[in-house]
Amino acid sequence: MNLPRLNTLAAATLLACAIATPALAQSGQKLKVGLMLPATGTFAALGTAIENGFKLYVAENGGKLGGREIEFVNVDDESDPSKATDNINKLIKRDNVDVVVGTVHSGVAMAMAKVAKDTGTLLIVPNAGANAVTGPMCAKNIFRSSFTNAQPGYAMGEVLAKKGIKRVVTITWNYAAGAESVGGFKEAFEKGGGKVVEELGLPFPNVEFQALLTQIASIKPDAVYTFFAGGGAVKFVKDYAAAGLKTSIPLYGAGFLTDGTLAAQGEAAQGIQTTLHYADSLGTPRDMAFRTAYATTYKLQPDVYAVQGYDAAQILGIGLAATKGDVKNKDAFAAAVQKATINSPRGPFKMSPTHNPIQDFYLREVKGNENRVIGIASKSLIDPGRGCRM
Ligand code: PHB
């Protein structure tokens, strides 16, 4: 009989075509992006800015990346490391996402990186700076669009040493981000001839700063270096001023101290100098276009978190364009991202071999509602990615 033979042939041809052309981009199948970000707690506003930035880039590209329409699934990670493994597993196993984008908190991100590495799921980290993510936990399928915790601290360590400041007290939350930020600061500051005379800390996300501020007043250092962010940063800056320290002991920090927080900090933040890979006054055509689009879409001014979210989407777009929408083609995805120059509002950057941005760190000073650039603290700073074997 001819008919069955023809049918078998036709089926075989169809199958061969399907294997030869993965063509996910043409198949009309949507790409599921799992957004694992804080929607509650001290980092809630940071999560919103990242999501806004990511969605702005997708919208600018007609709702598609690499030819595939994007669909979102959200999880509120509450910045709680103890829930992180369950939360990311839900996205991967229950919701079958193709890629996870998250998160803000370093402790949560480390748990996510472990799952991403074990399952081979594509992970793009749009904030959390945990050194381990692009160090010992690095993987071909893990990328970061933000920074490593040591970077802004290192840049500020160089600045304060050059200013001739000698004795500094550090204060932060006792968790990976705080410890690594202070670690970066201390490395550069002490290399430049300064001394960290006391390292103060409190558990995340506590904001009972009074006893520690009293200690700072009694030590009388030349300056204070700090890592706080989000709601905690708002309260710290206000409490520091209210304790009368602002005029006697200058306060410096990683730029998160004053990013996305200025409206709430008001007068207490004026004049504070920080180091970060973004500022409100870059004035480049690229940044101005981004800021206008963001402000028009969300009726809000963008901040560093919005930029990092936007660039996470750019990284995904670059990888998907090279793989015709196939996130499973990890080699081609990683090669394309590695080769690319990412056209970020912060300034163009390339990825390091361990998948962290190589970028300039600006010295900024708060004036009104802006973190104004007053110089470049560290040029093309690269994350050493210690312990990474890819
Ligand atoms: C972190 O936990 O890595 C972290 C959190 C908030 C920031 C920066 C880093 O603003």
For the chain, the straight-line distance linking the first and the last C-alpha, in angstroms and rounded, comes to 56
- The full DSSP string for 56-125 is HHHHHTTTEETTEEEEEEEEE-TT-GGGHHHHHHIIIIIS--SEEE--S-HHHHHHHHHHHHHHT-EEEE
What is the mean predicted confidence (pLDDT) over 208-236?
Answer: 98
Has residue 7 got a pLDDT over 50? no
Residues 6 or more apart whose Cβ sits within 8 Å of residue 243: 210, 213, 214, 217
**If you take atom 5 of ligand 1, which residue's CA is the nearest one?**
105
- What is the C-alpha separation between 234 and 261, in angstroms, rounded? 6
C-alpha distances in Å from residue 70, one per residue of 27, 30, 304, 344:
13, 6, 23, 21
Say yes or no: CB of residue 153 within 6 Å of ligand 1: no
| Range of lowest pLDDT (22-31, 129-138, 314-323, 326-335) | 22-31
What percentage of the chain has pLDDT greater than the value 70? Answer: 93
Say yes or no: CB of residue 105 within 6 Å of ligand 1: yes
Say yes or no: CB of residue 177 within 6 Å of ligand 1: yes
pLDDT band at 300 (very low <50, low <70, confident <90, very high): very high
| Range of lowest pLDDT (26-40, 285-299, 333-347) | 26-40
What confidence score (pLDDT) does residue 25 get? 66
What confidence score (pLDDT) does residue 23 get? 57
What is the mean predicted confidence (pLDDT) over 347-374?
Answer: 97
The residue to which tokens 């999560």 are assigned: 47
What confidence score (pLDDT) does residue 390 get? 87
Say yes or no: CB of residue 147 within 6 Å of ligand 1: no
> Residues 57-87: pLDDT tens digits?
999 999 999 999 999 999 999 999 999 999 9
What confidence score (pLDDT) does residue 12 get? 43
What is the mean predicted confidence (pLDDT) over 294-302?
Answer: 97
Has residue 10 got a pLDDT over 60? no
Query: Separation of 105 CA from ligand 1 center, angstroms?
Result: 5
What is the mean predicted confidence (pLDDT) over 303-332?
Answer: 97
| Range of lowest pLDDT (21-30, 155-164, 300-309, 332-341) | 21-30
Residue 174, helix vs strand vs coil: coil
Has residue 293 got a pLDDT over 70? yes
Architecture of domain 150-276: 3-Layer(aba) Sandwich (3.40)
Mean pLDDT value across the chain: 94
**If you take atom 9 of ligand 1, which residue's CA is the nearest one?**
128
Range list for CATH 3.40.50.2300 in the chain:
27-147+283-358, 150-276
> Residues 243-264: pLDDT tens digits?
999 999 999 999 999 999 999 9
C-alpha distances in Å from residue 85, one per residue of 46, 52, 196:
21, 25, 36
Sign of CA dihedral 235, 241, 244, 247: positive
Has residue 1 got a pLDDT over 70? no
What confidence score (pLDDT) does residue 26 get? 62
**If you take atom 8 of ligand 1, which residue's CA is the nearest one?**
128
> Residues 142-173: pLDDT tens digits?
999 999 999 999 999 999 999 999 999 999 99
C-alpha distances in Å from residue 103, one per residue of 54, 153, 342, 358:
13, 20, 20, 20
Query: Separation of 228 CA from ligand 1 center, angstroms?
Result: 8
What is the mean predicted confidence (pLDDT) over 197-202?
Answer: 98
Query: Separation of 69 CA from ligand 1 center, angstroms?
Result: 30
What confidence score (pLDDT) does residue 9 get? 39
Query: Pairing state of beta strands 167-173 and 64-65?
Result: unpaired
Domain 27-147+283-358, CATH number (from 3.90.1010.10, 3.40.50.2300, 3.90.380.10, 3.30.470.20): 3.40.50.2300
Has residue 332 got a pLDDT over 70? yes
pLDDT band at 28 (very low <50, low <70, confident <90, very high): confident
**If you take atom 7 of ligand 1, which residue's CA is the nearest one?**
229
Rg (CA), the chain: 23
Q: Tell me which residue of 225, 223, 307, 236 sits closest to 265, measured CA to CA.
A: 236
